[in-house]
Amino acid sequence: MYRLKNYCEVLHVLNNRNFIFFTSVKKSSLIELTDWAEHNLNADNLFKNCVISTANSHCSGVANL
């Protein structure tokens, strides 16, 4: 389970860098956190000018090689 400390560590690593950020539905609250901080704390939002794409993927079978 991700805790606030984990999210803050991720933000620290991404700060002032170009990045591609992959996440899962369970961890997507990092984007919500940065949006909230921007509007309520006047903080910089690392995702503000990013292009956000979502995709659903799943495996419905097993491939025999």
Q: Are 31 and 19 in contact (CB under 8 A)?
A: no
Answer yes or no: are the C-beta atoms of 14 and 21 closer than 8 Å.
yes
Alpha-carbon 53 to chain mean position: 11
Distance CA 53, CA 65 (A): 32
**To which H or E segment does residue 57 belong?**
none
* Each residue's pLDDT expressed in tens, for the chain with a length of 65 residues: 778 888 889 889 988 888 888 777 665 678 888 899 999 999 999 888 888 777 777 666 666 66
Helices (H), the chain: 4-14, 29-41
The pTM (predicted TM-score) of the whole model is 0.63
